[in-house]
Amino acid sequence: MDAFYAAVEQRDNPSLRGLPVIVAGKAENRGVVSAASYEARVFGVHSAMPTSQAKRLCPEGIFLPVRMDRYHEVSEQILALLTEFTPLVESLSLDESYLDVTGSEKLFGPPLKIAQEIKRRIYETTGLTASAGIAPNKFLAKIASDFKKPDGLVEIKPGEVEEFLQELPISKLGGVGKSTAEVLQSLGIFKVGQLANYPPALIEKKLGNFGLELVTLSRGQDDRPVTPQAEPKSISQEETFTPDLHHLAGMKKALLEQSERVGWELRKQRLKGYTVQLKVRYPDFSLVTRRATLPSPTDQGMVIYQTAIKLLDKTEALKKRARLLGVGVSNLRRPDAPEQLSLFHSHQKKGERSIAAVDRIWEKFGPHAIQRASLIEKKDDEEMRG
C-alpha cells in the first residue's frame, strides 16, 4: 500500500488530500513518524524519523495521531480481497503482502493481469492505491513493488533479472543499511551487479554468512516460499518517556498498562506464552533485557505484570532511570494444545471468565472503557515521571 496510514487519514478526511499529512507520536514524548504522505515526503519526512525532526523539516505538516484500530480494519478488507485470488498470501505487516499466484493463472489470467485486477479492486473497495511488483521470487517482487511508487506496477520476467539488477544501487538489497553499504562501497561495490560478480569468499571475510546471503540475492536467487498466516513469534508493548522515569510507582504503572495490552493482544490472537521479557533503555541509550520462563503459558495481563516487576528488580532502572520500558511475551502456543494443569486451575478459570468479560467491553468501547483503578488514578507528574 502507498503511504498507508497517511492515505487512510486523507481518505477518511478528504480536506487533507493534497496536503502534507504525517502520522506520528507526539514530539514531546520522543515520538516517531509512522507514515508520511507523498506531499510530506517532498520535505524529506519519512517513517521512523523522530517527530521533532519531522516538524523542523515540514512545519506546515498536519500531524495526526496513530489510529491503529482503523488501519487494522482497512488492512483486513484488503487481505480478504487478496485471498480471493490465491490462498498463498503472506502478510508482512498491515500494508504489505506477498502472493504466490502460480496456481491462479488458469482462473485469472497471467500475473500482470492479476496484479492489475488486484490494484483495481483495492482502489474500488477502499479508495486507496497500491503498488505491485511481479517477479520469479519474493526478493525481486519486493524491489519491483517499490520501483515506481505510488500506484506503481512493475514486472520482472525471468529473462530480465540480470539486466534489472545490474545498475540497481546496492542499498536496494534487503538488509543493506548504512554500515553495510559503507563496507561494500569500501570494496568498490556500489551497484548490485558489481556485488554479483565479486568473489564470494572476499565478501564473506568482510560480512560473514550475511555477506554470502547478499551475494545470492544480488544474483537474483531467492528460494523462500510464500508462507501464509505465519504465526507471530512474540507480542510486545513499549514506550519511551519524557522525562525519564525514576520512581518505582511510575515504572509500575507503565508496566501494568503495557502488560494488560499484551495480554489483550494474546487473547485476541488466541495465543499464550511461556516467556516474559522486560526491556529497559537507560538515559545513556544502553539497553538491557531480562527474561523469565513461566511454569505454564499465560495470556493474563496480571501474570505478565507480576513477572515483569520481578525482572525490573534485576535491572538498574531505579538507579539510572528509565528512558524506555517494554514488556513482551514469546515462546507462544495455541491455548488448545495440551498443557500441565496447575493446582489452582479452577481458580484460574474463574479469573479467565472475568477477563473475558472485560475483553468484550474493550472490543466494543476500546481499552480505556474499563481499567484497573491504579491506571485511572491521577498522580502528580513529578512523582510519577521525575
d(CA 2, CA 123): 11
Q: Is the CB of residue 24 less than 8 Å from the CB of residue 57?
A: no
Q: Is the CB of residue 134 less than 8 Å from the CB of residue 141?
A: yes
158 to each of 9, 143, 221, 261, 337, how far by Cα in Å? 38, 14, 11, 46, 43
162 catalytic, yes or no? Answer: no
Torsion angle of C-alpha atoms 336, 337, 342, 348, degrees rounded to 10: -20
Angle (CA) 11 36 66, round 5°: 70
| CB burial readout 271-300, b (16+ within 10 A) else e | bbbbbbbbbbbbeeeeeeebeeebeebbbb
From 328, 266, 347, 335, select the one nearest 296 (Cα to Cα): 335
Instruction: Kindly name the residue from 28, 60, 73, 96 that is annotated as catalytic.
Output: 96
Place of cell 501474570: 303
d(CA 70, CA 75): 9
The three cell numbers locating residue 235 = 507480542
Q: Alpha helices, DSSP H only, in the chain? A: 4-12, 38-41, 51-57, 68-82, 105-108, 111-126, 138-147, 161-166, 178-186, 192-196, 200-218, 248-268, 301-312, 317-320, 345-365, 373-376, 381-385
Residue type, 245: L
Q: Is the CB of residue 259 less than 8 Å from the CB of residue 304?
A: yes
Residues serving a catalytic function are: 96
